[in-house]
Amino acid sequence: MRPCDLRGTSVLLSVSVLFVQRAKRVCDDFRALDLRPSKSNNMRGNRRKTAYKKTPVHPPRSNKMPVDQDWPSVWPVARVFHPASVPLPLHQGWVEPGITPPGKFANAELMKIPNFLHLTPPAIQRQCEALKKFCTEWPKELDTDEKIDHHFPLQITTSDYLHSSPTIRDARARIVTLQVKLSTLNLNSHAKDKLLRLVKERYDPVTDILTLVAERCPLRKQNIDYAMYLLNVLVSESWKTEPWENEKSEADMEKYVWEGSQSQRTLQQLLERMPNKAPDLPEVIKQYSVNVTRFHNEGEDTENVNAYKESVIKLLGLNA
């Protein structure tokens, strides 16, 4: 056959092929069964026409959703926003007033937000119901904070971290904070002083709470065990008295003590030299010592200073 004859037939063929294809596209719901798909003619003349195929876009699924459907089944897990599956006419985007904001299709902003379509209130309720069988009821006797503190003085705080991604891991989840009030530990003065020296700024004098933070182990359970161990060690050590503790000097004292202080010695020397002493001397001395101790231990303020002043005036007999 001559080439031109062939060309003519090929054109005819391609036309018929196209016709068939157009017919196929008319009915979108079902694909027509094609047992013998005709080979598309890839010769140069035909290529341009079949080069770009538009993929058939079905109408969004949201059109067919019944209004009383079970939403948690439609959107069971955290998922990037999918406009065709969400039957809400959303708009997002900042526009000048008078302009329509962009719709939900191909809207990157809506996809950026971590949505909570998987955690709607009914879904949460279902999850709570499912979890209920793993929970026990709160004991009725523990109805006030004081009772809870009395029976459960130790408080352990841990944190769990949620991500909008599928992962449940977070490095911070291993951190364990243990809090206990020192008044519940029943320490005597020596033990308390030693404990406070060991513990330094982990103790808050305002609330009387000792806070231990354990994060050195990789697992939370290990950190909890370590924190408990640490507390035990602290308490046991503070009850012990080491031999070198006797070497505690005045500079180490945490409180001001009148007995043996410089103030007392100066007062003694003064009293020896005073010609006319106050009549009720022992009381005056006691009051003076109390006032001096007060403003050393409690911090100085005008009230303390005035009290000190009064006691010194009485001591030196200047009241006339």
Which pair of tokens denotes residue 158?
């841990």
Per DSSP, the three-state class of 62 is helix
**Least distance to other proteins, CB of residue 252, Å:** 14
Q: Judged by CB under 8 A, which of 40, 46, 211, 263 binds other proteins?
A: 263
Residue numbers 151-210 binding other proteins by CB under 8 A: none
Residue numbers 35-94 binding other proteins by CB under 8 A: 57-59, 62, 65, 67-69, 71, 81, 87-94
The contacts of residue 32 (CB under 8 Å, 6+ apart) are 24
The region of 35-43, 168-176, 207-215, 311-319 touching other proteins under the rule CB under 8 A is: 311-319
| Cβ neighbours, 10 Å, residue 105 | 10
Q: Is 262 in the site for other proteins (CB under 8 A)?
A: yes
Q: Is 308 in the site for other proteins (CB under 8 A)?
A: yes
**Least distance to other proteins, CB of residue 131, Å:** 18
Q: How many residues contact other proteins, by CB under 8 A?
A: 64
Q: Judged by CB under 8 A, which of 23, 113, 142, 168 binds other proteins?
A: 113
Closest-CA residue to 38 (of 11, 56, 12, 20) = 20
The region of 2-10, 107-115, 197-205, 207-215 touching other proteins under the rule CB under 8 A is: 107-115
Which pair of tokens denotes residue 156?
């352990």
Residue 300 to residue 308: CA distance in whole angstroms: 11
Instruction: Please identify, using beta-carbon distances, which residue of 99 and 131 lies nearer to other proteins.
Output: 99
Task: Please spell the DSSP secondary structure of 175-244, one letter per residue.
Answer: -EEEEEEGGGG---HHHHHHHHHHHGGGEETTTTEEEEEE-SSSSHHHHHHHHHHHHHHHHHHHH---GG
Q: Is 14 in the site for other proteins (CB under 8 A)?
A: no
Q: Is 97 in the site for other proteins (CB under 8 A)?
A: yes
Instruction: Please identify, using beta-carbon distances, which residue of 16 and 268 lies nearer to other proteins.
Output: 268
Strands 203-204 and 176-181: unpaired
The region of 4-12, 32-40, 172-180, 295-303 touching other proteins under the rule CB under 8 A is: 295-303
The region of 115-123, 134-142, 176-184, 219-227 touching other proteins under the rule CB under 8 A is: 115-123
Residue 224 to residue 219: CA distance in whole angstroms: 9
Instruction: Please identify, using beta-carbon distances, which residue of 91 and 147 lies nearer to other proteins.
Output: 91
Residue 199 to residue 185: CA distance in whole angstroms: 14
Do 15 and 7 contact (CB within 8 A), yes or no? no
Instruction: Please identify, using beta-carbon distances, which residue of 38 and 120 lies nearer to other proteins.
Output: 120
Could you tell me how many residues make up the chain? 320
Closest-CA residue to 61 (of 31, 80, 87, 41) = 87
Which spans of this chain sit near other proteins (rule: CB under 8 A)?
57-59, 62, 65, 67-69, 71, 81, 87-95, 97-101, 103, 105, 109-110, 113-117, 120-122, 125, 262-263, 266-267, 269-270, 273-276, 288, 292, 295-296, 300-302, 305, 308-309, 312-313, 315-318, 320
